[in-house]
Amino acid sequence: MDAGGRNPVGQGEDTEIPAAKEDEPASARAGTRGRRAVVASLMLCMGLAALDSTIVSTAVPQIVGDLGGFSVFSWLFSGYLLAVTVTLPVYGKLSDTFGRKPVLIAGSILFLLGSLLCALAWNMAALIAFRVVQGLGGGALQGTVQTLAADLYPLEQRPKIQAKLSTVWATSAVAGPALGGVIAAYADWRWIFLINLPLGAVALWLLIRHLHEPQRERKTTERPRIDWAGALTVFACGGVLLTALVQGGVAWPWLSPPSMALFGTGLALIAALVLIERRAAEPIIPGWVWRRRTIAAVNLALGALGLLMVAPTVFLPTYAQSVLGLAPITAGFVLSVWTLSWPVSAALSQHVYRRIGFRDTAMLGIGTATLLLFAFPFLPYPGEAWQPTLLMFLLGGALGLFQLPLLVGVQSTVGWSERGTATASVLFCRQTGQTIGAALFGAVANGVLAARLGGAGDLDSVTRALDSGAPGEHVRRAVAEAVHAVYFGAACAAGLAFLVLLLVAPRRFPLLKNPGD
């Protein structure tokens, strides 16, 4: 930037700063065939993590019928989510310290071990414990794959690989429930976990054979020190707080002694974590993650993205079935259309941010998303199915324009030795936002239903009642108002992300120009 705030590199480009030599990416420098094989392995790894979060849901009745434990089956999802979320910062730091390849291989092996154990589970408690093992490996898959994607490609080519990874998530969101239903109907539910083994074996073979990270020169001759105290505190703090958010209002009231005890313990662990990380030689969560405006702004903005994504993914299917009267498959299509427009928009976003910059492109996307979310409560009642379908299609396009420029931008402002930590912090904030959003919007929806139906129950009980027969008009209107309130809250979260980018993020991201790229 010059003194007047203009960008000397070009009006539509973000500022480029030459990187230090030690920050050159340790990416796979093999030929085109080798890089394609590595990309295939990354897509397989990402597919395992993405598919596992959706495929189990449709097999829950068969799992409960076989193992029992109906009162705790929700922990099949919560336990996995907790393990993935709390391990993201740890794996990010480890990949910066020891390299991406050993971390990704170790995480893949742990994920496959958890899958095998899940298939051998003898009761619900064992299955939940083994799902946690899966999640411990899943954290490495999600974070390290995204980091390696940035290592493999220079800035101008990163949208291509990120669009491919977005397509993997979109395909898994659509195919996962259907595949889980087919396996549950025509085979034993244990095959849901066993199919991970051959796919994971292929991914591991490709990684071991084709991913070659150049040896990095260390700034000192000392062996890297692992911040075990910080890692354990991150595990404990994240586990306690996320448990409080997941179970609050479900297993116990929000203001009950268990909730107060968990939140109090979580706050105490946060204070302990700050003290530990300040004294650590190589902290798991370094302070620069929040001191740098670009990374801090993107963390907050994508945390808001995780928050607002809860509205369509959790509440739109119920709205489509109970208010619009659609069949479950058709209701699923209403939601799935945004998985079609999101990766396409993400792939095309490079043509926008090359002209106007990362921040302004993301603001354009989230600003459009804010308007679309605000428009949902104004849909006519009961309305036609094409109306929310069109909004979801446009919303996917807007969010693709929002998320990918921020992720690529952040990864391009740090060197190799910091990229894993920066990427993990972004993913951690988005995952945490989803957890907070599920708790917050669940409370909002249940509150509206209680007010409209005279304390007749929460959204889950109303949904079960709807399954037993045609809903009454007053119930349909109550569900519509509850979902409208959730979408209004999601629009507020999107507006908050817009303000964060406007007020906190620098207008031009300080990009590092790696000589190796």
The residue with greater pLDDT, 9 or 201, is 201
User: Which of 280-297 are b and which e, b meaning 16 or more Cβ less than 10 Å from the residue's Cβ?
Assistant: beebbbbeebeebebbbb
pLDDT band at 40 (very low <50, low <70, confident <90, very high): confident
* Position 371 pLDDT exceeds 50: yes
Decide: residue 369, CB within 10 A, 0-12 exposed, 13-18 middle, 19+ buried: buried
Highest mean pLDDT among 27-36, 155-164, 255-264, 359-368: 359-368
Closest by CA position to 393, among listed 343, 456, 458, 465:
343
pLDDT band at 11 (very low <50, low <70, confident <90, very high): very low
> Do the Cβ atoms of 97 and 282 come closer than 8 Å?
yes
- pLDDT tens-digit series, residues 217-227: 555 555 667 77
Cβ-based neighbours of 418, under 8 Å, separated by 6 or more? 23, 96, 288
- The tokens describing 331, both together, are 């209701």
Decide: residue 181, CB within 10 A, 0-12 exposed, 13-18 middle, 19+ buried: middle
pLDDT band at 258 (very low <50, low <70, confident <90, very high): confident
* Position 453 pLDDT exceeds 70: yes
Q: What is the 3-state secondary structure (H, E, C) of 338-396?
A: HHHHHHHHHHHHHHHHHHHCHHHHHHHHHHHHHHHHHHHHHCCCCCCCHHHHHHHHHHH
- The tokens describing 207, both together, are 């990684």
d(CA 357, CA 362): 9
d(CA 272, CA 458): 37
- The tokens describing 33, both together, are 């065939």
d(CA 384, CA 371): 20
List C-alpha distances in Å: 506 to 409, 428, 457. Answer: 11, 22, 46
Q: What is the 3-state secondary structure (H, E, C) of 64-108?
A: HHHHCCHHHCCHHHHHHHHHHHHHHHHHHHHHHHHCHHHHHHHHH
Dihedral sign (CA 230, 278, 24, 39): positive
* Position 80 pLDDT exceeds 80: yes
Give the CA dihedral 254, 256, 261, 266, nearest 10 degrees. 0
Query: Which helix (H) or strand (E) is 18 found in, with range?
Result: strand 16-18
Q: What is the pLDDT of residue 390?
A: 92
Q: What is the pLDDT of residue 64?
A: 81
- pLDDT tens-digit series, residues 327-347: 766 777 787 788 888 888 888
Query: Which helix (H) or strand (E) is 511 found in, with range?
Result: strand 511-513
* Position 282 pLDDT exceeds 90: no
pLDDT band at 503 (very low <50, low <70, confident <90, very high): very high
Q: What is the pLDDT of residue 485?
A: 92
- Backbone φ and ψ for 18, nearest 5 degrees, come out as -60, 135
Q: What is the pLDDT of residue 369?
A: 95
Q: What is the pLDDT of residue 28?
A: 40
List C-alpha distances in Å: 503 to 430, 460, 496. Answer: 20, 39, 10
pLDDT band at 513 (very low <50, low <70, confident <90, very high): low
* Position 470 pLDDT exceeds 60: no
User: Which of 375-411 are b and which e, b meaning 16 or more Cβ less than 10 Å from the residue's Cβ?
Assistant: ebeebeeeeebeebbebbbbbbbbbbbbbbbbbbbbb
> Do the Cβ atoms of 509 and 409 come closer than 8 Å?
yes
d(CA 441, CA 310): 8
* Position 515 pLDDT exceeds 70: no
- pLDDT tens-digit series, residues 375-390: 999 988 877 888 889 9
* Position 2 pLDDT exceeds 50: no
Average pLDDT score over the chain: 81
Dihedral sign (CA 481, 487, 490, 494): negative
> Do the Cβ atoms of 1 and 496 come closer than 8 Å?
no
* Position 285 pLDDT exceeds 60: yes
Least confident of 182-186, 379-383, 476-480: 182-186
d(CA 104, CA 267): 31
CA 316 to chain centre: 19
- pLDDT tens-digit series, residues 237-247: 888 887 887 77
